[in-house]
Amino acid sequence: MIESGDSEDFPFEGWDPEDDDPQPSSPPTWRRPLLIAVAVVTAIAIAIVPLYNVFFARTVAENGLEVCGFDYCIVQEAVRDAGLDLTMSRLANTFLDESQARSLANDLTRYLGIEPVGLQVVEVLDGRLGGVYDPVARSISIESPARAWTVLHEVAHGVESGHGDDFRDVLIDLAIYMEP
């Protein structure tokens, strides 16, 4: 058992162990301004994010589908449904330099039996897209760092434009080809 001495033995000034009803101290003066600041920042974020999406959201095609950002592309679901989501994930996380990206594009076009495409890796590409296929020039521009999935996606546009069923079939065929 711990013996208690008189209140002078306790190291905390103003504390009396025998006081059954201690008075709570008032909250610190900084608490209210901090809570107000957090509430204001939260309210601004709630207001700005929807406005950002209205003005700067991804492009939407005439069919109402989002134009690809590749990692979150509308074809992702089709690839997942085909059981190739691990392949897609591996390719999305495989970074290529420009010569590797060109080599992959050449390999894929040979596999598809289509005319080769030009490919260049650029530093900035619209800020929202990972790659663009130009059907007139038969060329691909991919934002650095180039991802294997983006090369695959853009080469598939060499066969089919848009992101419809035929495009998804070509993309799935290429993903199967790329499986280890």
3-state secondary structure of 145: coil
Q: Given this model, what pLDDT does residue 74 score?
A: 60
Of 6-15, 25-34, 130-139, 151-160, the least confident: 6-15
Which residues have a Cβ under 8 Å from the Cβ of 95 and sit 6 or more positions away? 145, 146, 147, 148
Residue 49 has pLDDT above 70, yes or no: no
The backbone torsions φ and ψ at residue 61, rounded to the nearest 5 degrees and listed phi first, read -75, 170
Report pLDDT for 14.
61
Give the residue, 13 or 101, on which the prediction is more confident.
101
Mean pLDDT for the chain overall: 78
Where b means 16+ CB within 10 Å and e means fewer, 24-42 reads eeeeeeeeeeeeeeeeeee
Among 153, 148, 146, smallest CA distance to 97 is for 146
pLDDT of residue 71: 40
* pLDDT tens per residue, range 141-169: 998 889 998 899 899 999 988 878 898 89
pLDDT of 67-85, one tens digit each?
455 444 566 777 888 888 8
Q: d(Cα 69, Cα 71) in Å, to the nearest integer? A: 6
Give yes or no for a cis peptide into 180 (omega within 30° of 0).
no
